Amino acid sequence: MLNLNIYKVKVHKKGLIVLPARLRKKYKVKEGSEIVLLDDNGQIILIPRYRIVDLYGIAREHAETIDEMIKEIEEERKNEAST
Amino acid sequence: MKLVLDTGVIMLILKGDKKIKTLIKDISYGTEAYTTTINLTELYYKTEQKLGKETAVTWLNRIIHLKDLAIVPVDTELAIKAGKLKAKYRNKISLADAIVAALAEKTKAKLATTDKALNNIEEIEVLTYS
């Protein structure tokens, strides 16, 4: 099942909406931040635009798996190179 | 300075690995960062294999919209440059290695990688994080 938190917001003049404070905090969205909107067949997806430094450690809980992923990609490249 | 980020290095960023703290700092202070669409392919398939589709889509969406990472598609010029490297280094480097190295050569950037095979390529300067 999808793990979704649902927020209901009203649309104001000229289509303005207010992002709930909890989401602004969670996704580090401040005044002046850029957000990408995806028109995805009946739903609008909002993706905050980050800088590389903001991604540092966002997947810390998967550290061991990421090490495995790096190793596997390297091995796969090596195998492909030698065939 | 310019940097081309290989797949493993992007993964180290997500992991929050201490080894790449200086690299992150350099990028925050204005070093231009690039990667190729092939690296996105690797990042996507390996993440989906290991952590599922939802995680893969979330990570990719965040990466492709980064303000300070230019994602370069493989056009004919890059394809041919990569082909030349692959011809020269044959079974020492893979296609992905050749493409990412070709971008580093073309943009005169250092290549940041976790893949030691790339040290074989004398046309570029390689920073290895392993």
pLDDT of A10-58, one tens digit each? 999 999 999 999 999 988 899 989 999 999 889 999 998 999 999 999 9
Q: Is residue A32 part of a domain?
A: yes
Judge if A59 and A71 occupy the same domain. yes
pLDDT per 10-residue tile (average), chain B, 130 residues: 97 97 95 98 98 95 94 97 96 96 98 94 94
For A37, the token pair is 């909107």
- Taking residue B123's Cβ as centre, other Cβ atoms within 10 Å add up to 13
Q: Is residue A83 part of a domain?
A: yes
Q: Is residue A80 part of a domain?
A: yes
Residue B77 CB-density burial (10 A; 0-12 exposed, 13-18 middle, 19+ buried):
exposed
How far does Cα B53 stand from its chain's mean position?
21
Q: Is residue A1 part of a domain?
A: no
Residues of chain A contacting residue B15, judged by C-beta atoms under 8 Å apart: 57, 59-60, 62-63, 66-67
CA distance A64 to chain B (A): 9
Find residues 13-72 of chain A whose CB sits inside 8 Å of chain B: 34, 36, 47, 49-53, 55-60, 62-63, 65-70, 72
Q: Is residue A12 part of a domain?
A: yes
Nearest to residue B99, comparing CAs of B118, B126, B125? Answer: B118
Judge if A37 and A68 occupy the same domain. no
Judge if A64 and A81 occupy the same domain. yes
Q: Is residue A3 part of a domain?
A: no
Judge if A55 and A42 occupy the same domain. no
CA-derived radius of gyration, chain A: 19
Q: Is residue A42 part of a domain?
A: yes
Cα→Cα distances A59→A31, B50, B56, Å: 26, 13, 12
Distance (Å, rounded) from C-alpha A36 to C-alpha B64? 11
Interface check for B28 against chain A (CB to CB < 8 A): the answer is yes
- Its pTM stands at 0.88
Q: Which element (helix H / strand E) includes A74?
A: helix A63-82
Judge if A12 and A41 occupy the same domain. yes
Judge if A42 and A70 occupy the same domain. no
Judge if A16 and A40 occupy the same domain. yes
Judge if A21 and A40 occupy the same domain. yes
CATH number at residue A35: 2.10.260.10
Give residue A61's domain range.
51-83
Judge if A61 and A73 occupy the same domain. yes
**Interface predicted TM-score (ipTM) over 0.85:** yes
Q: Tell me, what's the pLDDT at B130? A: 81
Judge if A55 and A75 occupy the same domain. yes
Could you tell me the pLDDT band of residue A2, with boundaries at 50, 70 and 90? low
Distance (Å, rounded) from C-alpha B36 to C-alpha B73? 6
Per the structure, how many domains does chain A have? Answer: 2
> Could you tell me where the DSSP H helices lie in chain B?
7-15, 21-28, 37-51, 53-64, 76-89, 95-107
